[in-house]
Structure 1
Amino acid sequence: MALISINQPDDYFEKIYNIHIINGFTNNSSVPLVVWCISSDNVDLGGRALQERDEFSWSVKSTFWKNTQFSCTMKFDNQRRSFQAFQRRRDIQRCYPTRECFWLVKEDGFYYSNDEIYWRKDFNWTLN
């Protein structure tokens, strides 16, 4: 009987992702973008009030066996929207290769990028 040993790096099944939420409003409003995020494990990141161009970021340790998720609620003036800021099954590919997940929140919706150069609009403030 042959025994094969495969040595994997310690972090082979664990990856660190950095999530960024940026206030991309350009109307010079004194009203902040209010952000509140919580994980699927009930880790509450608390609320933040972001002025124009401010950023809120955190790191997520994601494992192969668990679908780590962070849900965030955004509020600006009279608009409110909740969304998945990080979902391992969805973002393992789209945050690749940088493991950086950027969200730019603007007047017309929510934009995603993994490099802050190319942005793709993911959805609007209102549910369709």
Structure 2
Amino acid sequence: MFLGAQSFESKKKCFFTTKYQIYVVNNLPPNSPVLSAHCRSKNDDLGTHTMASGQTYNFNFCENFFLTTLFTCNLRWRGKDKTFPAFNSKWIDSPCDMTGDCYWFAKEDGIYFSDQNPPKRLEKHYDW
């Protein structure tokens, strides 16, 4: 886990479904303004969390076997604002399926993704 991690821990056990862990990592320059992250699904609003450079916010959930599981996250930093799907069970060959982990890194030029634990190769998915 990353230094300064904040988490929403689900006490439920996942029966017949996969448990996923989503990480939002502030990989912005040191001494820059805090990153604000607000993640939610149709049924769960996880609230707004602020992170200094180098900090991580994470949460986990059990995929709903009968319904689409969709979590979106909105990141804000220095007047930039980006909402994106952090997890969608309708994704074909979900990149999170191999490990159950999804890592989203906020960088100066956009939002990057890794499905490796620990994260190694980052792919840019979104511009701010």
TM-score normalised by L of structure 1: 0.81
Greater Cα radius of gyration, structure 1 or 2: 1
Structure 2 residue 114 is matched with structure 1 residue 113: yes
TM-score normalised by L of structure 2: 0.81
CA spacing shift, 1:77–1:107, aligned 2, 3 Å: same
Q: CA deviation at 1:74?
A: 0.9
Q: Per the alignment, in what secondary structure is the counterpart of residue 63 of structure 1?
A: coil
Counterpart-to-counterpart distance in 2, 1:20 and 1:60? 12
- Which runs of no fewer than 5 residues in structure 2 stay unpaired? 1-13
CA spacing shift, 1:63–1:22, aligned 2, 3 Å: same
List structure 1 segments (4+ residues) > 2 angstroms apart after TM superposition.
Answer: none
CA spacing shift, 1:91–1:26, aligned 2, 3 Å: farther
Deviations 1:86-111 (A, max 9, x none): 11122762112111000001000010
Q: Which of the pair is proportionally richer in helix?
A: 1
Counterpart-to-counterpart distance in 1, 2:48 and 2:29? 22
Counterpart-to-counterpart distance in 1, 2:82 and 2:30? 19
Per the alignment, residue 85 of structure 2 pairs with 84
Counterpart-to-counterpart distance in 2, 1:52 and 1:102? 16
- Which runs of no fewer than 5 residues in structure 1 stay unpaired? 1-9
Query: RMSD of the TM alignment (CA)?
Result: 1.7
Aligned residue pair count: 113
Structure 2 residue 23 is matched with structure 1 residue 23: no
Give % identity: 27
Matched letter for residue 122 of structure 1: H
Counterpart-to-counterpart distance in 2, 1:73 and 1:108? 16
Per the alignment, residue 56 of structure 2 pairs with 55
Deviations 1:51-81 (A, max 9, x none): 0010000001003322111111111011111
Counterpart-to-counterpart distance in 2, 1:74 and 1:88? 21
